[in-house]
Structure 1
Amino acid sequence: QAPPDVGPPADMAPPGCFDHRPDNENFALDGDGEPGQIHLQAAFQPGRGLWVVYNRPHPGRSDFDVWLTRVGCTPADDVPPFQVDDDAADPNAGDPSLAVHGDRVLVVWQGEVPGREPNLWVRWRLIGADGVPLGPTGRIDTGDPAQVHWMAAAEATADGFVVAGVRTGAVENRFTIFAQRLDADGAPVGPVGEDARQTGGQVEPTVGVTPAGEVRVAWLDDGQQGPVARAVLGDFGLTPLPGVAVGDQVQSKISYDRAGQWLATGVAPGDIALWPGAVMPDATPRWFGQNGTSTSPGVASGPGGGVVGWFRLDRGIRSTPFWQAFDATGVPQDVPRQIPTAEPAAPYPMALTHVGDGRYFIGWSQGASPAFLGMGRFVRP
C-alpha cells in the first residue's frame, strides 16, 4: 500500500558521481582513525558526494567525539575525517545525526558535560560544502530543564532543517517527543513542537520530510504496549495522529527514509516491517528479514521503490548486515542480499540513503568490540 500523497524523490546524482567506486565493494570510511566508530548516519549532497557522521572515542577517555567525512563524487571531492564537536564545551558528544540543505550540512548531537545540571542538551554545528565549519557549535533550547536524547535531523525543504528528539516529561524518568525547525543558519523558527498527549513513554524518534514539504516525525510509544505512534509537525506543534499496532511488541529500532515515504520498524520476535510513511490506519505492512533474529532496520526511497537494510543477530551483538529492494508499493523484490564482511558487524543504527543513478549507500560498524570500524558499500537493486 503506497503513500497516496507523495511522489518519489528526484534522481539526484549527476552523471559520473561515484564512478570510481564500484558497486558491491566494501570500503573503510575512517580506516586510519581511532577504532570504536559507531552510530553512522549518512546524507547525500548533489554534485559533492556523501556525508557520513559517526561517533569516535576520545583518546585516553571513555567519552565520544563527533566526526564527519565526505565520500566525494570524485576523489577531488573527498573530505578527510575531522572532528565536529567542541571538546571543551561537550566532553562527551553522542548519537549524531545530520542533514544537507543546499551547500550546508547540519550536524546535531547529544552534548554532555558530566557533573553539570542539566548535563545533556542538543548541540549543532553548520559545515560548509568544502568541509569547513561555518561557525562555533550552537545549542538548541528545547525548553527542558533536564535531559535530551536520541537526536534526529532532516532537511526541511526550502526553509532549512528540522531536528527531533526526546526530553524528560512530566512523569519522572519518562520521555516525550519534541521537534524544532531551524533556518538555513541554524536559528530556531517558531516554538518547539511537542505531542499534546504527553504519554511519557516516547523514545527513539525519527524524522523525514516529504517532497511536498510535510515534516513527519515517528517514535516508539512504550506507554501504550509498543505501537508505533506517528505525528506530523505542523505550524502549531506536533499534532497527534493514530498510532499503528504492529504485532505484540515493536523493538526500539525504527527508521524513516529521508523523504518521509516509508517507515521501517523492528518487530518482535525479530522481523522487519515496512509501513507507508503517511498515517494510514488500514495500512498493511510489508515484511522483511523474517528469521526471528533481525533488528536495527534502515530504509531509503528512490525512483520506483527503495531499499530496506537490517542486521541478523548471530551471537551476542555479532551480526550480519542484509539489504533488500522493494517496489513503489513496498513489495519486497528478489531475495535478501547478505553483505559479506571481513569481521562481524554490530547492530548499531544502519546508515542507508539514496545517492541517485539507481544506487544506494549502506554504512555500518564492524569488528571486535569495542574496536569497531565504520564501513560503507554502494549497492544497486
Structure 2
Amino acid sequence: MDAPKQVPAVELRISITDTDPLIWRQVVLPETVTISELHGAIQKAFGWQDYHLFGVRAVDREGRPRVIIGGDDDVNESDTEAADDVRLLELIDPAQPGTAVEYEYDFGDTWTHRVEVIGPAKISENTIICLDGAMRGPVEDSGGTGGYANFIKVLGNPSHPEYLDAAEWFEMVTGEQAEDFDPAAFDLVEINGRLHQLGRRLWPGDPTSKDMESVFAPLLWLLHEAAPDGLELTSAGYLKPAIVKRAMTELGWDDEWFGTGRNERNVNPILRLRSLLQDWKLLRKLKDRLTLTPAGRRVAGDPAVLWDYAADCLAFPAHPADRVMTQLLVHWAVEGTPPPIEKRGKIIQMALYQEGLRAHDGGDIPLEWVHELSREIGQSMRCLVLNESPSWMSSLHGELSDAGLRFLLDVQRRMRERAA
C-alpha cells in the first residue's frame, strides 16, 4: 500500500484565554483549510458541541482587519464575511511564528481562543492531528471562563450547597457521571479519534462504483431477484419462504435472526427491505407477483443511478415527521455521537415540536409515537450497508464505512440545498 500523500500544513497552538490553568491544544492541519474547517478542528480538539455561533477576528496578510462569522445561514452585517468563503492562509503566514488570530465561540458565554502560529509542517492529506495540550475542554453553556471556574469549584466539593444541582446539570448536558468529572483530564487518543472522524467528514472523496454496490447490496439483491418476470407471492401477499430463506442467507443476515420460520411477515429484515423498495417505487405488487417498476428496472442495472435515486428518497420523505426523524438519524450517524438512549426520545420530541408537528390535542407528540417513528425510520435505514459489517442489526451502530459515510454526507448535502 502506498504511503499517504504528505501536504503542506501549519502547526498552531490554540489556547482559551483567561483560563487558569490554561486550557490549550497544539494542532496540525492542512494549510488549505477554510475558517469553517478550522472551526471544526477547534470544536473537536476542545470537545465543544458546536451549538453556537462563532467568529474570527484578524488582521490579514495584507494588513486589513477581517471579521468572519460562522454558524448561521446568513452573514447580515456588510463588514463581515462567511466562514466558508475565507481560507486560513488569507489571515496567517505559516512562516511567521507568533502571529495569531482570535476565534470566539458562543457569543453569550464568550469563549475566546488565541490561535497562534507555531510554524510550517507536513501532514498526511485529509487529516488533522493534535500533538499536545492540557486540561479537558470546558463544559458547554457553563457561563464562560468565570462560570466554568465556579462550576469546577462546586463540583469538586460534594458538601457545597450547590453541588447536587451542579451535578444533575452536568450529567444532563454531557451524559457523563458527575463523580468522574476531572477538569485536568486530557486524552490525546480520544481527541485524535474525534479529529480523524472530522477529517473523514470534511474530505470524504468521491464515491466509487464499489461504494455504490456495497451500500446498496441488499436493495440490488432483491431488485435483481425480481428481474425480469417478478417474484411469486403467497396468497396473503408475502414473499414465499424459499426466497426469504435465500435472502437471509445470501445477505448475511441469517445468523442474527431468531427462529427457524421463514414466513416474511415474521422476518423483519426482509419485510422491511421489500417495504422500503415499494415505498421508493422501485418494486410493486402486480396481481400475484412482486415486479420491478420502470424506475426499478432503470436503477437495477446502474448503481450510480440508484445512488442518486436513493439519496433523494432518503433526503426527501413525503411526511414532515419522517423528514425530521431522518435528519436526526443521519446527523447522529455521520457525527458518530448519538445521544444516550434515555434522552433520545425527548430530543426527537422537541425537534418535531420545533417543526410545528403536534398531537391531535395540540400538545407534544407522545413519546410512544416518537419511539415508533424512530424504530420505523431506523429499520428502513438498516436495509443499507452503512458500516463495514453487512449485519442488519448493526447497520446504524459503530463507525460508518467510507462508502456509508459518503452516502450519508450526500444525503445531508441534498437536505441542506433543498432547505436553502
Q: TM range, normalised to the smaller chain?
A: under 0.3
Higher helix share: 2
Query: What TM-score, normalized by structure 1, do the two folds share?
Result: 0.24
Query: What TM-score, normalized by structure 2, do the two folds share?
Result: 0.22
Q: Which entry has the higher C-alpha Rg, 1 or 2?
A: 2
